Amino acid sequence: MPSLKSIRKRIASVKNTQKITKAMKMVAAAKLRRAQDAALAFRPYATHLSQIASDIAERLMSEPQVEDVVSAPAVAEGSEGSAEASSGSQARLIQKILLGQNEARIRLVVVSADRGLAGAYNSGLFRRCERFFVEQQGLPNPPQIDLIVLGKKGRDYFRRRPVKIAHELAGVEPKTGKERAKELGSLLADSLLRNETDAIYVCYNEFKSVASQAVRIDRILPLRLRPTLRRGDEPADEPKNLVDFEYEPGREAVLEHLLPLYLEAELTRILLEAIAAEFSARMRAMDSASRNAKEMIGRLTLQYNRARQAAITKELMEIIGGAEALKG
């Protein structure tokens, strides 16, 4: 049986740990409130912007003249059809970025944390990435997957895996979320324009509530169009708009201006969701650790009392035995 001194030291150690976990829980709860408000407030803007981009892209690709321009061969520079060439390259760029079909090269953005002590926040994220790799390798023509990893935990994990890491970025903090989204958006846009990737996916923890989050992999580019739409047809699953909007100078120009805004908004939303989910996971993990510490203190206190009672009983038996020996 452990000595009374060792049990007292262990109880003191567990109590100190409990103080730390309680403090970390309070800090995470305070940060969670601000992060939750920011994530929930930004959702409608990002959702509506995505819907607008998808609607313009659908209407643009449903026009027969756009299909003809996209399928037309490129015109050499300096020729008489330089304007047509410029329009064709613009339409082809829109088709590749927004409506591409062949995903031979995928860029996967993994949003992990810089710190641990957040329960299954990071481990669940990595398991979902591994399943995504298996799913893609099971396709008839497996794509090449390059990673952009945010956070030290993701960096350390994927450095030990047989995957290609294109870029490594620091984790996301509440004060740097929007700046990091701009940096990441510029990086992804450059990779698309340099023809280094065909599709962009993001693996992150989506904030559901204080009690839960869900690991998701979303494709942010190309946009996913409704399957009922065909070029030259009107969307069949929605009523026709009462107002037919006119775009000046044109849908292509609007999309060209809208694309950076859409990409930045989606990445900002995802990073805000990940920040809120991280604080939620850390708060729950620290709450669980505090409860476990309380239970352990109770068990150690009971063990200490039993050991102390056994020591007192032993001492009394020795005293009584000595007294009886003196009498005899």
H or E, element range at 218: strand 212-221
Count CB neighbours of 175 within 10 A. 7
For 34-59+100-234+246-283, give the CATH class: alpha beta
> What is d(CA 153, CA 131) in angstroms, rounded to the nearest whole number?
18
Nearest to 289 by CA among 11, 29, 23: 23
% of the chain surpassing 70 pLDDT? 79
Task: Give the pLDDT score at 228.
Answer: 42
CB 91 within 8 A of CB 252: yes
Task: Give the pLDDT score at 159.
Answer: 93
Same fold for the domain at 4-20+286-327 and the one at 34-59+100-234+246-283?
no
Region 79-102: mean pLDDT is 53
**CB-count burial class (<10 Å; 0-12, 13-18, 19+) for 327:** exposed
Model confidence at 89: pLDDT above 80: no
Task: Give the pLDDT score at 96.
Answer: 56
Task: Give the pLDDT score at 178.
Answer: 82
**CB-count burial class (<10 Å; 0-12, 13-18, 19+) for 77:** exposed
Residue ranges of the domains in the chain?
4-20+286-327, 34-59+100-234+246-283
Task: Give the pLDDT score at 62.
Answer: 67
Task: Give the pLDDT score at 244.
Answer: 57
Q: What is the pLDDT of residues 104-145, one digit of tens each?
A: 899 999 999 998 899 899 999 999 999 999 999 998 989 999
CATH number of 4-20+286-327: 1.10.287.80
CA angle 55, 204, 114 (to 5 degrees): 140
Q: What is the pLDDT of residues 255-301, one digit of tens each?
A: 777 888 888 899 999 999 999 999 999 999 999 999 999 999 999 99
